[in-house]
Amino acid sequence: MSRLVMKFGGTSVADIERIRNVARHVKREWDAGHDVAVVVSAMAGTTNKLVAWCREASVLHDAREYDVVVSSGEQVTSGLLAIVLQEMGVTARSWQGWQIPIYSDGSHAAAHILGVNGEEIIKRFKERREVAVISGFQGIHKETGRVTTFGRGGSDTSAVAVAAGIGAERCDIYTDVDGVYTTDPNVVEKAKRLEKVAFEEMLEMASLGAKVLQVRSVEYAMQNKVRVMVRSSFDDPVKPKTDKNGQPVGTLICDEEEILENQVVTGIAFSKDEAQISIRRLADKPGIAAALFGPLADANINVDMIVQNISADGFTDITFTVPTADYDRAKAAIEKAKAAIGFKAMEGANDVVKVSIIGVGMRTHAGVAASAFKALAAKGINIRAISTSEIKISILIDAAYTELAVRTLHSLYGLDR
């Protein structure tokens, strides 16, 4: 049988009874003959507690020691799951990131995975059919031997990296939903679960507000061609739901070539983490954009949508968006550099939302944007800014119109059906 990676998040391992439920999922796949590696997060609430302790100990704490502390939550979970599996008669052992090892760069608290050496795990698959229970979210910096962590949601990336490292057929991400939907079902009741989503589409969805997968995990999956299945951990572990083809219910994130029929639009995502800043009456000359955005880059503030008006009388206006959390810092950085930039006025708003239309089918279909603008106009929704890519159209609107805009676009592209 094939190799399989199974990943379970904090809510799935929140207490011993839920860990037993996870163990039943693992045993089902092990009994079916799969070689199984399991990646686990810390028990729900544990990481927040560990982070709070670090801050209480010292506001300006050493990031290397921070990683030592916060990585301990996953260690507890992996040990407990291994114990429960052994009690069920499953051969299993726990692994920490440094034991495998999972190599990363030295950016403590936000490290990037460089590679996974899966040789010992594969050897134990062959010799003992031993389930590898792996602590997610953590690795090791080879040069220093220090433990590193991958940032919030890093266990998803750990799981995908392990799948690539052992040559797994698939990486199953178990979460509190049964797949990826055309939009948020809390906003649109008729939102549908997608059977398959292309890597590029999922990357856009994850970066534009969908919370199902961490962006970095999707990037890693796409780079390494790791097929990822999003499944529900609350499904029956003994007899999970299957579709009409006998396949487990969930959403497969895969290469575009695996998707036989592409819709023009796959989903509608939205992000409330947006703030708009408009700079008025800038001199329209070479270097002015660098003078404006340089201070923001120096302050590590990410700029997203950028719109520049046509020059009039030698002056222009530039509007752009930043994360809501960086709104005040961004305005302060620009104000500080006002003399160098040379603008007349700065305006801003943090009651805005970015709504995005996503689909690989947009590459070969014209009129997607025009129909969206027409439909929103008919609902009286004003568009503040627009940005596009090959498979995405993002529009910035007033937050008050979020649900109306999402529902309108969801129906417009036939995603209700």
pLDDT tens digits, residue range 158-215?
A: 999 999 999 999 999 998 889 999 999 999 999 999 999 999 999 998 887 667 888 8
Average pLDDT over the chain, rounded to whole? 93
* Three-state SS annotation for 338-391: HHHHCCCEEEEEEEEEEEEEECHHHHHCCCHHHHHHHHHHHCCCCCCEEEEECC
Q: Please tell me the predicted confidence (pLDDT) of residue 379.
A: 97
Contacts of 286 (CB under 8 A, 6+ apart): none
Tokens representing 316?
Answer: 């222009």
For the segment 19-59, what is each residue's pLDDT rounded down to a tens digit? Answer: 999 999 999 999 999 999 999 999 999 999 999 999 999 98
Residues 6+ apart with CB under 8 A from 192: 181, 182, 415, 416
Q: Is residue 244 part of a domain?
A: yes
pLDDT value for 209 = 64
What is the enclosing helix (H) or strand (E) of 230? strand 228-232
Which 3 state secondary structure label does DSSP give 328?
helix
Q: Which of the listed ranges 138-142, 176-180, 262-266, 385-389 does the model predict with the highest average pLDDT?
A: 138-142
**Rounded alpha-carbon distances, angstroms, from residue 74 to 66, 68, 84, 95, 267:** 14, 11, 15, 10, 33
Compute the average pLDDT of residues 236-252. Answer: 86
Sheet holding 146-149, edge to edge: 113-116, 102-104, 138-141, 146-149
Q: Minimum mean pLDDT among 252-266, 273-287, 386-400: which range?
A: 252-266
DSSP assigned state of 337 = T
**Domain residue limits at 333:** 267-412
Q: Is 291 exposed, middle or buried (0-12, 13-18, 19+ CB in 10 A)?
A: middle
pLDDT band, very low/low/confident/very high, at 243 (cuts 50, 70, 90): confident
In a domain, 16, yes or no: yes
Could you say which of 235, 258, 281 is where a domain stops? Answer: 258
The pLDDT-based confidence of 1 (bands split at 50, 70, 90) is low
Q: How far apart are CA 111 and CA 137, in angstroms?
A: 10
d(CA 66, CA 108): 8
**Are 205 and 281 members of one domain?**
no
How far apart are the C-alpha atoms of 152 and 414, rounded to whole Å?
34
Is residue 104 pLDDT above 70, yes or no? yes
Does residue 381 share a domain with residue 240? Answer: no
Residue 186 lies inside a defined structural domain of this protein? yes
Looking at the fold, whether 376 and 359 belong to one and the same domain comes out as yes
Beta strands in 121-165 (DSSP E): 131-135, 138-141, 146-149
Task: Examine the pLDDT at 260 and tell me if it is beyond 80.
Answer: no
Q: Phi and psi of 171, rounded to 5°? A: -120, 110
Return the number of other C-beta atoms located less than 10 Å from residue 5's C-beta.
29
Distance CA(93)–CA(84), nearest Å, equals 11
Count of domains for the chain: 2
Look up the CATH number of the domain holding residue 297. 3.30.2130.10
- Paired strand residues for 252: 196, 229
The reply to whether 417 falls in a domain is no
In the predicted structure, residue 71 carries a pLDDT above the cut 80: yes
Q: Tell whether 247 and 311 lie within a shared domain.
A: no
Same-domain check for residues 10 and 46:
yes
One domain for residues 246 and 182? yes
Same domain, 182 and 296: no
113 and 181 co-located in one domain: yes
- What's the N-to-C CA distance of the chain in angstroms? 37
Of the residues 201, 227, 258, the one at which a domain ends: 258
Give the pLDDT of residue 130: 98
Q: What is the pTM of this model?
A: 0.88
Same domain, 340 and 287: yes
Tell whether 102 is covered by a domain: yes
Q: Is residue 321 part of a domain?
A: yes
Quick one: 18 and 103 in the same domain? yes
Asked whether residue 226 falls in the same domain as residue 112, the answer is yes
Query: Domain end: 224, 258, 292, which one?
Result: 258
Residues 185 and 45 in one domain: yes
CATH number for the domain harbouring residue 30:
3.40.1160.10
CA torsion 246-250-254-259 (nearest 10°) is 60
Tens-place pLDDT, residues 314-352: 899 999 999 999 999 999 999 999 999 999 999 999 999
Does 306 map to a domain?
A: yes
